[in-house]
Amino acid sequence: MKRPLAAVIALTLLMATPVLAQEAVERAEAEHLATTPLPFDARDEAREWRLWWDEADPSERPAMEAQRVTELEVATWRDRQLARYETDFDSLARTCPDGVTDVCRIDGAGVIIVPGDEEAGLPAHPLYWQQLRMGSEWDMPRAAVILYTPTADGRLKAATWVQTAIVHEPPVVIEGQGELYVAVPGYHDGTGRANADVLFRWTPEADRPFTQIDITSWKDDLTARLPTGLEVWKGVAYRWPYLMAETSLWQANDANCCASGGEAWIDFRIDGDRLAIEWLQVNDRVLQAAGTTPADILAWAGRRVGCDHWAGEEPYDADRAAMIAEATARLDCEGLDADQAALVDTYAGDEVASALIERVAGAAAREAEAP
Structure confidence by residue, pLDDT tens digits, 203-237: 998 989 999 999 999 999 999 999 888 899 989 99
- Alpha-carbon span 341 to 1, nearest angstrom: 90
Assess contact for 114 and 169: CB atoms under 8 A. no
163 plus 120 within the same structural domain: yes
Strands (E), 166-232: 167-168, 172-176, 179-184, 186-187, 198-202, 210-213
Q: Is residue 326 part of a domain?
A: yes
140 plus 151 within the same structural domain: yes
Supply angle C-alpha 119, 121, 124, rounded to 5: 105
75 plus 95 within the same structural domain: no
For the beta carbon of residue 166, count every other beta carbon within 10 angstroms: 15
Q: Is residue 256 part of a domain?
A: no
103 plus 192 within the same structural domain: yes
- DSSP-assigned beta bridge partners for residue 250: 231
pTM summary value: 0.74
159 plus 180 within the same structural domain: yes
Assess contact for 160 and 37: CB atoms under 8 A. yes
17 plus 120 within the same structural domain: no
324 plus 353 within the same structural domain: yes
pLDDT at 11: 42
186 plus 94 within the same structural domain: yes
- Alpha-carbon span 37 to 91, nearest angstrom: 23
pLDDT at 70: 94
Q: Is residue 197 part of a domain?
A: yes
Predicted confidence band of residue 316 (pLDDT cuts 50, 70, 90): confident
Assess contact for 201 and 179: CB atoms under 8 A. yes
Q: Is residue 288 part of a domain?
A: no
The alpha carbon of residue 301 and the mean position of all alpha carbons in its chain are separated, in whole angstroms, by 35
270 plus 229 within the same structural domain: yes
* Helical ranges in the chain per DSSP H: 5-35, 39-55, 61-83, 218-225, 285-292, 295-311, 318-330, 336-346, 351-369
The pLDDT tens digits of the residues spanning 141-170 come to 688 899 999 998 989 999 999 987 788 899
Q: Which domain holds residue 314?
A: 293-369
123 plus 48 within the same structural domain: no
When pLDDT is averaged across residues 178-191 and rounded to a whole number, the result is: 85
DSSP strand pairing (198-202 vs 210-213): antiparallel
- Alpha-carbon span 308 to 298, nearest angstrom: 15
Assess contact for 328 and 308: CB atoms under 8 A. no
- Alpha-carbon span 186 to 172, nearest angstrom: 12
Q: Which residue has the higher pLDDT, 311 or 266?
A: 266
196 plus 123 within the same structural domain: yes
Q: Is residue 238 part of a domain?
A: yes
Among the ranges given (67-71, 96-100, 172-176, 267-271), the one the predictor scored with the smallest mean pLDDT: 96-100
pLDDT at 268 over 70: yes
pLDDT at 26 over 50: yes
pLDDT at 48 over 70: yes
Give the amino acid at 31.
E
Q: How many domains does the chain have?
A: 4
When pLDDT is averaged across residues 125-148 and rounded to a whole number, the result is: 83
pLDDT at 193 over 80: no
Predicted confidence band of residue 92 (pLDDT cuts 50, 70, 90): very high
